[in-house]
Structure 1
């Protein structure tokens, strides 16, 4: 009755990033304050994200399509969240202040795109966001932290977990050695990429099941043959 789409040659989610240079040794200490306006806006955006996802659920159930304006809005919320996370506790890998924008920002060092799927499975929409995604939720809870609550509307705010811990290791290394460890950067982008893929799947934006694979580095890997 249900089938999970293969993800071999298909890449429904593209998450890319570039390590900015130079990076300030100490700006990360005040980024919390600088990002307060973003946190306020994102709080309401993620409430809207959840509401839009519920509306999309019924749209897919009855029409097998994700309404394009709703899809573009949720993609924009994910873009915004990824840029804020990259600037702060998701990586601390740029000092460029995130733009207040739902649209693509090709010049910003953190970028995200989600391919519009066209038709989606009416059967999968009933089970993929809770039953099929459970194994990934366990992984995401470890990566993003239990404090995220596991809810789709809250995953945009990276909470205390492996990602945050590694990001602090990276920025502390930068503060004391003036070098951001490249290996840590590649790992952090890969971990964030995993979280974002799962979020897209749980938000019903694709039928392609997220791979249990850590694709490290700023660039997406080449699709498998």
Structure 2
């Protein structure tokens, strides 16, 4: 009986350790360049991997991240994400990179989350007001104004944003702790889902009139009439 209990405890500890270390898997070789052709390839972490002997510098590089992006849109920002789809050599390495351009006077990277990665952001140009909200029940809002050279961390899964509060364009670069961190933009997900969430649900959740909910769904691409 004692041995059985010890064995159960050992299994529970092993499972707990497995959950605690969950995330992008650690590579068991130098690299695993992602390819789309399954012929003569191995499937690892959602991608097929080419023979390492066939890898070249182009599999690990990207050019043009110094070029300003167009920010003429509803929110006044443009995110250029470099994940495993843009740099195949990132496969299994657990990191990605983004350039974010912000229009003057209110360019916004709207509230969003990265379900699979923590973000560390460095401001290169401009002045950004940034922040994130902690999880329930506290929902504590942590924010700061950043200037060129300043760095800020957004913990994995938490809602966060960046707003350009200067009269000039702003640029920031962000590193993320996943080869494919994912992005859930809150307003788009809630009011622009396909098919749409019932207005009754959203009206009660946000304490809004159902007409306002229907209006917001139309603004974000929902199909409710």
Q: Tell me, yes or no, whether TM beats 0.5.
A: no
Higher RCO, 1 or 2 (CA under 8 Å, sep at least 6)?
1
Q: TM-score, normalised by structure 2?
A: 0.23
Greater strand content = 2
Q: TM-score, normalised by structure 1?
A: 0.23
Structure showing greater radius of gyration is: 2
